[in-house]
Amino acid sequence: MTFLNIFKSTNINDELVKYRSLPDAILLDVRTKEEYAEGYIPGSINIPLDDILEVENIVPDHDKQIFVYCLRGTRSKKAVSKMKMLGYKNAVSIGGIASYKGPLGKK
């Protein structure tokens, strides 16, 4: 990794292409329930960052590919860090829905 790579941001739209190419992958939104209800990426499940330990009940397979997003990417990075401590090997932060260029689901 070069020095400039630390400043490179993840493009949620590119990462969603990867997510959609993996039939068993999980798309996880770690925003609050209220934020999720206002608009979410279709196909995602919501586990707020404050409740991230619940992931073990919802996704018990620690080898599952999990794409994690929030509003801007900060909470998703924290969630992935906690998930890695729980033993999830393939959880990745894909950034924030604020950069998403697609249709939103609403509750």
| pLDDT digit string, tens, across residues 43-84 | 999 999 999 999 999 999 999 999 999 999 999 999 999 999
Q: Rounded to two decimals, what is the model's pTM? A: 0.90
Answer for the pair 44, 70: CB distance below 8 angstroms, yes or no.
Answer: no
pLDDT score for 73:
93
Which residue in the list 70, 80, 91, 92 is annotated as catalytic?
70
pLDDT > 70: what percent of the chain?
92
Dihedral (Cα; 11, 54, 79, 34), 10-degree rounding: 70
Residue range 96-105, pLDDT digits in tens = 999 999 999 9
Rounded average pLDDT over 86-103:
96
| Element counts in the chain: helices (H) and strands (E) | 4, 4
The answer to whether 70 is a known catalytic residue is: yes
| Domains, the chain, ordered by start | 3-99 (3.40.250.10)
Q: Is the pLDDT of residue 6 over 60?
A: no
Positive or negative torsion for Cα 28, 30, 35, 37: positive
